[in-house]
Amino acid sequence: MAKHFFIVLMMVLGLTSSFYGQGRVDERGVYIPTAEEIEATKRMRDALRHPTFIALRLVSVPHDVHEEPSDQPSPYNFGDSIYFQLMISHTFFEPIVIWQPLNSYYDIRPELLRDGELVPYRKKAQENVEITENQPPSGSGAPRRFLPGREYDFVRINSQEWYAPLKRGHYQFNVRRRFVYDGEWIQSNSVSFEVQ
């Protein structure tokens, strides 16, 4: 855990160094952050623990070239690949830096309802969720920097990664996301769609 926090700290410091005085590199090539950089990183982590300033918007990824991203896409057929794009914007007073692990099971929780009933995750997805519930993120990832007042493509979600092929019915899909391991989850809007 300490190693992961140190890696995240260094990445955040690297991205925020243009806003604060820069630290120095010691004789072994180790970056020594300034007190201001350390304080900025702590402030960002505390803010991301309670991300009331972040908004998530979910849209469908068009399955027809004549279609626009939407929260009410045209009907899908059984067996179609169904993708969604999670968008992010924020109103924080400065740019924010978010660590995105490659393993999305750490920080994303889709919720799918079919005709009003909760659809369970695939067995493998459920196992991955259970594993990540009890341990902090590890492995590869990357920081991303987001300016206030702008909306960005954030995460693409493939329904087949989480769910078995969808049967005929009316569906509602939303996503919860957290931004630090021990942080609060925030929820996107719902996307309604039909499978025929």
The predicted pLDDT at position 81 comes to 87
For 140-180, the pLDDT digits (tens) are 888 899 999 999 999 999 999 999 999 999 999 999 999 98
The predicted pLDDT at position 110 comes to 97
Q: What is the mean pLDDT of residues 124-131?
A: 94
Q: Provide the Cα torsion 73, 74, 77, 81; round to 10°.
A: -30
Name the token pair of 10: 């260094």
Query: Cα(36)–Cα(55) distance, rounded to whole angstroms?
Result: 28
Domains of the chain: 2-195 (2.60.40.2970)
The predicted pLDDT at position 14 comes to 53
For 35-56, the pLDDT digits (tens) are 888 888 898 999 999 999 999 9
pTM of the model: 0.80
